Amino acid sequence: MNFSCKNGSLSILCVTAFITGLFVLVPAQPGFLNIDCGGIRNSIDSETNMTWIVDANYIDVGNIANFSMPNTPFHMQSLRFFPRPLNKSCYRLPVSPNVNYLLRLWFLFGDYKKFQTVPSFNFSVETEGFVTHRTKTVIYAHVPRITDMILTSPNGVFQVCLIRSFDDTDPFISAIQLRSLVSGMYSLQVKPGIMLHTIGRYDLGNKSPKAIRYPQDEFDRIWSLDNALSLRTNNQAISKCSVDFFGKKNNSRNFPPTVVLQTALMVETATQPLNIFLEAVEGQNLIVLYFAETQVLNASEYRKFKIVINDIVVRNISLDVKSNFVELPVTYNNTGLAVNVSLETIEDEPGKSNRKALINGLEYYNIVPTEPLTDASDVSALSSIKTAFGMKNWTSDPCFCISWEGIRCNKNNTVRVVEVNLSGRNLFGSVPSRINDLIALRSISFQENHLSGFLPDLCNLGRLEILRLQNNNFSGIFPDCLSKLKNLKELNLENNNFSGVLPQELMCNKLLDLRYSGNPYLHKVENNCHSKDNKIKIVVVSVIGALLGGSLVVIFVIMYQRRRCMKAKDVGLIAIMEPNTSSCRSFSLLEMKTATINFSQKIGEGGFGSVYFGRLPDGKDVAVKLLSSSSKQGLAEFLNEINLLSRVNHRNLVSLIGYCNDSKELMLVYEHLCGGSLKDHLYGSLSNISTLDWKTRLRVALDAAQGLEYLHVSCTPKIVHRDVKSSNILLDTNMRAKLADFGLSKIIGDDVISVRI
């Protein structure tokens, strides 16, 4: 085995090829990486002599598809798409730290029949510490969509992520190209945290039919022809010239290739301005203009002109130095108008003749700032949990755009993880000690698993409010430091093997919902809470008295309001009982309109009204049930669900997240289960693309049975669902089932429910 790898940005690939003997992983062009997404074999593009490699080494999720389209390169006739339950899927690309790269993404689906509608989705390019881009991408069948950007990474990795959007079409990608740039190129703008998104790159004056790219441009930048631009002078006459290039490139390494500088646009007469109209892109943009002398000027001639943008003079240009370039940052807020770049001659040397204004090349970029990503220490801590429990669907940043399943984040200036909910995931092993580094955590839920071993130190989690560990196999001495967590409101240790003594501070904390039954080796000390200062007793008695008095007033008001509600015809006048605010929250009508994009995506219909898909600011997907003002039966079901779901909490029952009672609008907000209903999979909309094997069917039946068992046996008071059917059994991404729709349910006494064997 005998080969060599040049030093460069893709040295990691070279090492991989050396170790594995896979020569095809080393690109033929140094610093180039060409990935055929969904490809089945490596290939060489005959036109550019570029090596294309399959994408299997960079991603391990998604499906591949192929299609046949005439006059389309082989590497563009395949794609990788990401069906449900995949919501965010990422390619991991190794790069050299702090080196500028050109990253180009290709999208084309041709006659592939999977996409019945025009695909629309988001994507991002992420690296540790920041995200560099996210945009809605709309793809058309036979026209390649190209996204071109220049960016850098501080840590040596780009993650190109395809993200499902509200349109719910499957994200896909056709090809990825990566080119390392030379030090100094675009260095004034590109840095960790800032990216240049290419709006256009133009070879002005070129009369050839094809755009300029590799090998004419050694970095494979694509220079389009100027016929894509709107060009105008007062007399509409513009000359295109193609002559020898007499200038010399200055020390700007991002100067275009010589072939671009050999052509230019000129006005017909020196007295006329040359106007170039660019698309107005909102935000901060960068216009780079390139000028090079294409003629030999005698002693009586000179070439000077001024650059005017939207009637504002920004720079004077003299080509006495043979070549020049200008970088012009432009902030534009009015996208209804075009950006007018005008070149106007300057007559300032008496006795000499000023030649016509010219321009050779133009680059136009949108300067994209970063968005904050998850705190690095939180990412490291979650990574240890990911490794311990084998969470394969946790990819890229934990919080950006779509949070990792079971993770909730607080997105302020610093993004921190505030909830880890891995209940009912069939997890084995012990909880990693790194969880103690998630200092912003407010809730931890590990119940209903097979976790064992000692509970790690949680003393750093001073903001923790909820800790649910029930129904596992935890063992060891109960950690005394939990009593130091002053914000703890719920602690459930039931059905484990903890030993030792419960601290007095926990036993005496009246604000703490403490549950510890089912731990045969865990003991409590004698209740000494009564030995507190007598002043506290006096205060408590006074408060209780005040509460009793207030309760009488509240009861009177409730009875009065209930009597009014029974008579009211307007649904908006109904005063509903607030759900349990420890398990759900109140939303405003504006928050609901924002989450559902003004109720634009309807996903269900019932006697109560319509159900809409929504997404909360923390990235959590929800289903919003909106009570119709004309629904009489729906109102009764609506109030019944509030009453019941405020009482129940089980992994096989759909959770109530919140509610809205604002501006005469009544809504319930549930967790959204993106797997659809059991009915959809058996004989509905998903039956043609989803097949339930017998193992899955048995698990669904068992989940539904466990939900009913909880309602009939464990719940206090007991509840009968009364509407169990396949459309009311919903599935999550792991095909685990939960019972939904409690509108017809009924609270019933113990003696009514019986089990016949």
3-state secondary structure 514-579: EECCCCCEEEECCCCHHHCCHHHHHHHHHHHHHHHHHHHHHHHHHHHHHHHHHHCCCHHHCCCCCC
Joined together, the tokens standing for residue 581 give: 């605010």
- Non-local (6+) Cβ contacts of 284 within 8 A are 329, 330, 331, 366, 367, 369
137 close to 107: Cβ distance less than 8 angstroms? yes
Query: How far is the C-alpha of 339 from the C-alpha of 332, rounded, in Å?
Result: 8
Tokens at residue 402, please? Answer: 């779509």
Neighbouring CB atoms inside 10 A of 442's CB total 19
Alpha-carbon distance 99 to 191, whole Å?
9
CB contact at 8 A, 166 and 84: no
Q: What phi and psi values does residue 518 have, to the nearest 5 degrees? A: 85, 15
C-alpha distance across the termini of the chain, in Å:
72
Tokens linked to 175 = 């090809």
Distance CA 110, CA 71 (A): 12
215/193 Cα distance (integer angstroms): 30
Kindly list the distances between the CA atom of residue 742 and the CA atoms of 316, 361, 739, in Å, as whole numbers in the listed order: 73, 66, 8
Cβ-count burial of 576 within 10 angstroms (0-12 exposed, 13-18 middle, 19+ buried)?
Answer: middle
Residue 637 half-sphere exposure, CB side, CA atoms within 13 Å?
22
- Per-position DSSP letters for 330-398, written without gaps between them: EEE--TTS-EEEEEEE---STTSEEPPPEE-EEEEEEEEE-EE-B-HHHHHHHHHHHHHHT-TT--S-S
What are the strands, taking DSSP E only, across 206-322? 224-225, 230-232, 238-242, 263-267, 274-278, 283-292, 301-302, 304-309, 312-318
Residue carrying structure tokens 């290939």: 43
Q: How far apart are CA 256 and CA 161, in angstroms?
A: 30
Q: Which amino acid is at 309?
A: I
Q: What gap in Å lies between CA 517 and CA 473, rounded to an integer?
A: 14
Give which of 134, 147, 70, 69 is closest to 107, Cα–Cα.
Answer: 147
Rg (CA), the chain: 33
Active site residue 723: yes
Sheet holding 407-411, edge to edge: 407-411, 415-421, 443-445, 466-468, 490-492, 513-515
3-state SS of 675-743 is CCEHHHHHHCCCCCCCCCCHHHHHHHHHHHHHHHHHHHHHCCCEEECCCCCHHHEEECCCCCEEECCCC
Strands 656-662 and 585-587, by their bridges, are parallel
* Pairing mode of beta strands 415-421, 443-445: parallel
Q: Which two tokens stand for residue 414?
A: 């610093």
Query: Of these residues, 662, 723, 741, 751, which one is catalytic?
Result: 723
**SS3 call for 437:** helix
Catalytic residues: 723
